[in-house]
Structure 1
Amino acid sequence: MKSILVTGANGFIGSALIENLESFGFNVIKFNSSDGDISNYIFLKEYENTDIYHIFHLAAKTFVPDSWENPLEFYKTSVLGTGQILELCRHKNIPLTFVSAYLYGLPEQLPITEDATIKSNNPYAHSKYLAEELCRFYSEYYNVKVTIARPFNIYGKNQKDMFLIPYIIKQVLNDEVIKVKDLYPKRDYIYLDDLISGLIKTLDNEKQFSVYNFGSGEELSVQEIIDIIQKIAPTNKEVISENQERQNEIMNVVADIKKANYDLNWKPTFSFEDGITEILKDMKNAN
Structure 2
Amino acid sequence: MVKILVTGADGFIGSHLCESLVKKGFCVRALSQYNSFNFWGHLEKSEFLKDIKLISGDLRDSFFCAKLVKDIDVVFHLGALIAIPYSYIAPQSYVDTNIQGTLNMLEAAKNEGVSKFIHTSTSEVYGSAIYTPIDEKHPLQPQSPYSASKISADMMALSYYNSFDLPVIVARPFNAYGPRQSARAIIPSIITQILSGQKEIKLGDLSPKRDLNFVLDTCEGFISLLNLNNFGEVFNIASGIEYSMQEVLDKILKLTNKEVKIITDKQRLRPKNSEVTRLLGDSSKLKAKTSWSSKISIDEGLALTISYIEKNLSEYKSGIYNV
Aligned partner of residue 80 in structure 2, secondary structure: coil
Shift of 1:39: 2.0
Q: 1:152 aligns with which of 166, 171, 174?
A: 174
Matching of residues 47-86 of structure 1 within 5 Å: 47=68, 50-86=70-106
| Map of 1:215 onto structure 2 | 238
| Map of 2:224 onto structure 1 | 201
Percent same amino acid among aligned pairs? Answer: 33
Matching of residues 1-287 of structure 1 within 5 Å: 1-34=1-34, 35-43=56-64, 45-47=66-68, 50-94=70-114, 95-102=116-123, 103-174=125-196, 175-241=198-264, 246-248=271-273, 249-284=275-310
* In structure 2, C-alpha distance between the alignment counterparts of 1:44 and 1:7, rounded to whole Å: 10
Contact preservation (8 Å) 1:43, 1:85: no
Higher deviation after alignment, 54-63 or 105-114: 105-114
Give unmatched runs, 5+ long, in structure 2.
35-55, 314-323
Amino acid at match of 1:219: E
Higher deviation after alignment, 117-126 or 171-180: 171-180
* In structure 2, C-alpha distance between the alignment counterparts of 1:45 and 1:269, rounded to whole Å: 37
* In structure 2, C-alpha distance between the alignment counterparts of 1:264 and 1:86, rounded to whole Å: 25
Q: Structure 1, residues 211-270: CA drift from partner, whole Å, max 9, x if none?
A: 111222111112111111111112233334469674123322211111111123211101
Shift of 1:104: 1.0
Shift of 1:106: 2.2
Q: Structure 1, residues 142-187: CA drift from partner, whole Å, max 9, x if none?
A: 1111111112222110111121000111122221133322232211
Contact preservation (8 Å) 2:81, 2:94: yes
Distance 1:286 1:122, change over 3 A: closer
TM-score by length of 2: 0.83
| Aligned positions, number | 286
* In structure 1, C-alpha distance between the alignment counterparts of 2:246 and 2:195, rounded to whole Å: 17
Amino acid at match of 2:191: I
Q: Structure 1, residues 15-70: CA drift from partner, whole Å, max 9, x if none?
A: 1111111111222112222033312232564157x421200111111111111222
Q: Give the alignment's Cα RMSD to 1 decimal.
A: 2.0
